[in-house]
A and B are shown apart, each in its own frame.
Chain A
């Protein structure tokens, strides 16, 4: 079971927190995986590959975090010039952080939508 909680303050972030259903739990949130945080700003440019052969599927959503619950800031298209930064595993899929120069957008794209993927972990 997930609880959405908006965190106020500088740089608001949408956090997906898992709620423990174990008997005796007060319902307090468990530790949040970094892959459940929107936006996920941990994406050092450990790769740097730039090419027009990266995007494999037209309309690949570019998101603020490595999770489909994070906002999509745009879509990438086949042939766009892209720089790959790094990848991370979110528990079910690999996501790559990239800069789509053709769209002027940057963010996370799920790897199954890419033809060329990053070979460098984000951390």
Chain B
């Protein structure tokens, strides 16, 4: 059922509806999307558990995993956030592959599988944090890409739509648009 939206925020709401609509199918897609997961990584939420219970269990499990990693060579591993995400800043994870491998092997059985409800929460957080400036920036990029060799570049921000980023036209458009939108920046790495 559609409702006419009026007022100064109508365009933003319209954009938000487009964004939400375009994300409606995400969750099991393998194309770039907000926090999309491959099916094998997700544990379907049990009907016997609420999303809140799933989150509580997941956060507790991630805390155990963090504690394990700290005991196995990664002492600065941060605690999980309230939503279960662990934000590992560069410098926390060691550059020595032996240390990382040892910690991973010791702790992989402790790391919980993320429930679908937690993934849905992360998706929701990412969508709700979208700003009009983000959308405007993306639309500018999309217009440039489509006009310079990548007609299949998705028009909607956070779209699930597939496009060929490796095609010759896409690479040409990227070179032109990055130079236009980020003048003077040289690629590194």
Contacts and interface: CB of A to CB of B under 8 A. Distances in A.
Contacts of A115: 89-90
B186 A59 contact: yes
B75 interface: no
Interface residues of A, number: 50
Given A81-B126, A99-B32, A102-B138, A121 B104 contact: yes
Contact of B145 (A56, A104, A113, A114): A104
B93 interface: yes
Contact of B34 (A52, A83, A104, A118): A83
A118 B88 CA distance: 7
Interface in A4-18: none
Interface string B149-188: 0000110011000010110001100100010001001111
Contact of A83 (B35, B165, B186, B189): B35
14 contacts: A44-B41, A45-B38, A48-B85, A50-B126, A57-B189, A58-B185, A68-B189, A73-B165, A75-B182, A77-B182, A104-B153, A104-B154, A111-B90, A111-B93
Interface of B: 32-38, 40-41, 69, 77, 85-90, 92-93, 95, 97, 100, 104, 114, 119, 122, 125-126, 129-130, 134, 137-138, 141-142, 145, 153-154, 157-158, 163, 165-166, 170-171, 174, 178, 182, 185-189
